Chains A and B, each alone.
Chain A
């Protein structure tokens, strides 16, 4: 009598525990199957304080001469950019033609030099260069000291 009852309890308990574990596993699987939460892009969300009405600028309306001038300027700009683009393309074409001519002549001279010239230059890319600034660097300039604290929020999925 003393031995039989605890045995039954164990069986029932074990079964119940197993059923519980399976239910938990199923719930976990369901949660994992759900698509992960998207990380918000902070640049695309305007904070609400910038949409208040007192923030709206009050400027005089555009006169017709001003809008006329703007339209004409935009047209001039369009033409200027088109000419610039055409000139660039022409220059690149001339560059390529000059190189093809040089390679043709080289081929007439010797095949091995030609092969050496056609080979890819592994050390060329990645090519990094700092662009030009408005004024040249000032020799012996001591920039003011300061500390930069990075407060970007990092999200994990």
Chain B
């Protein structure tokens, strides 16, 4: 029981720090509440889907911005729009925030601004991916030790 308590404490502290640093918001907490015994891996699965989406969208944006003959900003904006939607649905606050700035640069047809945002969004996405992988690893350890995942408010 002691090991479980320790792991649970670690999980709670780590979750709290992710919220505090703005990586995750309340939406993510809502998702964790939807997880139960019938779908124990649901959050992990949804996170994987999200990261797949992210990679695809980031690649689309990069390709569109690379065009020497004139960037199709509408195309870039469509991808950013989609990323904004999925990041807000999963609670990825920092990714979403970059998308907001990104869209303004698309609207202004500012290629340099867009490129800077692309770098930022790529950075935020990889940070989040690492953080969530750590969180999920902690989750696994708790379950393996026979404990249950605490719900962090």
A and B physically associate: no
Q: Which residues of A contact B (CB under 8 A)?
A: none
Q: Which residues of B contact A (CB under 8 A)?
A: none
